[in-house]
């Protein structure tokens, strides 16, 4: 008998349960081909050698890449087969001019999970997403049904952006522009990123930062993510309806919420979601708040993120 979301035990996120990172691990890169000929790139961090080990599919946020998950992947690969994907238009995936709607983004993620052996007769996977990637993870979890062992939303995936921010997509896009002084040189850019939190700046963080920009012959930087990709991705984010989507997820859900930012009222949006799920008779997600920590929890709190993924892998039932 397969359990329902209402009779599963609460998820405990204990960073002490997260393994130490493996500094020697290096992922292999692969692609899956989506119709008509779009290549979706992913990093396979490997996992335990025994068969039947659940998977973890890690999905990055807007205008970043799979590299941001390295601090978490280094920890969970000893327990789970671990894969981090580049969303279409991001990282090393192709940047077509179409197919950025929710169904296509979820299809891309499902194809990566399938290519990694998580689906079919496989053990299923935890789907984890950060920011915009949390929306994609949630859409994917709905489609996977019981093949999704758990859903982790890392500082995203609980907001109706238009309602929470009062912005329209074009206004939201304008807020993404980097200050000119940050993009004047690679040294200025990396110095800005390191200053976010010097204690967590390391080779993985530098690699992730470098993957997001291109240096022009004049020495200035331009973003790797193209304008049409950002526009289409933001449109998809604004189409996300958290109560509708998360109410349809069969697997247990954990939400990791970082500090409030200057745009919108995110805490009230989260409380509204939880109240809506209660009102619909759905079991509430486990929520862990980090009121003084920034958006990139994979960098600032990797042990917590890793512990949440491992807890969901243990709690989920996988395929029946």
- What does the alpha-carbon distance between residue 289 and residue 266 come to, in Å, rounded to a whole number? 12
Does the residue 184 lie in any domain? Answer: no
In a domain, 178, yes or no: no
Nearest-Å Rg of the Cα atoms of the chain is: 18
Share of the chain above pLDDT 90, in %: 87
Average pLDDT over all residues of the chain? 93
Residue among 167, 320, 153 nearest 245 (CA): 153
- Is residue 35 classed exposed, middle or buried when 0-12, 13-18 and 19+ CB atoms within 10 A define those classes? exposed
Do residues 271 and 278 touch, judged by C-beta distance below 8 A?
no
In a domain, 33, yes or no: yes
Residue 81 CB coordination number (10 Å): 22
Residue 262 confidence (pLDDT)? 60
Give percent of the chain above pLDDT 70: 95
What CATH number should be reported for the domain holding residue 82? 3.40.50.1820
The pLDDT value recorded for residue 123 is 86
The pair phi, psi for residue 186, each rounded to 5°, is: -65, -40
pLDDT tens, residue by residue, 36-90? 999 999 999 999 988 888 999 999 999 999 999 999 999 999 999 999 999 999 9
User: What is the reported pTM?
Assistant: 0.95
Given this model, what pLDDT does residue 263 score? Answer: 57
Please report, for residues 85, 204, 246, the alpha-carbon distance to residue 23 in angstroms, rounded to integers and kept in the order given. 20, 10, 35
238 located within any domain? yes
In a domain, 187, yes or no: no
Residues of the chain with confidence (pLDDT) below 70: 1-9, 262-264, 316-320
Q: Is residue 182 part of a domain?
A: no
Tell whether 195 is covered by a domain.
no
**pLDDT at site 51:** 83
Domain contains 207: no
- Residue numbers of the domain that contains 306: 5-167+226-315
Q: What is the domain count for the chain?
A: 1
Sign of the CA dihedral 268, 270, 273, 277?
Answer: negative
Q: Does residue 294 sit in helix, strand or coil?
A: coil
| pLDDT number for residue 10 | 77
Q: Please tell me the predicted confidence (pLDDT) of residue 315.
A: 87
């Amino acid at each position: 008998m397969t359990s329902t979301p209402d009779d599963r035990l609460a998820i405990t996120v204990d960073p002490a349960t997260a393994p130490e990172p493996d500094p020697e691990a290096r992922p292999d890169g692969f692609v899956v081909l989506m119709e008509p000929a779009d290549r979706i790139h992913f990093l396979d961090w490997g996992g335990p050698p025994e068969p039947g080990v659940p998977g973890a599919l890690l999905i990055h946020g807007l205008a970043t890449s799979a590299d941001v998950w390295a601090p978490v992947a280094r920890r969970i690969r000893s327990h789970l087969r671990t894969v981090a994907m580049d969303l279409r238009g991001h990282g090393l995936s192709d940047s077509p001019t179409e197919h950025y709607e929710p169904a296509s983004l979820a299809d891309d993620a499902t194809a990566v999970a399938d290519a990694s052996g998580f689906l079919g007769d496989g053990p299923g996977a935890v789907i984890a997403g950060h920011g915009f990637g949390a929306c994609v993870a949630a859409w994917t979890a709905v489609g996977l049904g019981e093949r999704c062992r758990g859903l982790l939303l890392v500082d995203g995936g609980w907001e109706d952006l238009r309602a929470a921010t009062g912005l329209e997509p074009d206004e939201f896009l304008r807020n993404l522009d980097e200050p000119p002084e940050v993009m004047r040189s690679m040294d200025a850019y990396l110095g800005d990123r390191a200053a976010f939190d010097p204690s967590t700046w390391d080779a993985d963080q530098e690699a992730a930062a470098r993957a997001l920009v291109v240096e022009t012959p004049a020495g200035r930087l331009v973003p790797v993510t193209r304008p049409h990709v950002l526009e289409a991705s933001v449109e998809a984010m604004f189409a996300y309806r958290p109560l509708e989507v998360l109410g349809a997820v069969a697997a247990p859900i954990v939400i990791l919420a970082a500090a409030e930012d200057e745009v919108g009222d995110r805490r009230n949006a989260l409380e509204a979601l939880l109240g809506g799920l209660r009102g619909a008779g759905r079991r509430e997600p486990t929520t862990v708040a980090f009121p003084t920590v920034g958006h990139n929890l994979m960098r600032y709190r990797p042990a917590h993120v890793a512990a949440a993924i491992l807890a969901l892998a243990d709690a989920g039932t996988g395929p029946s």
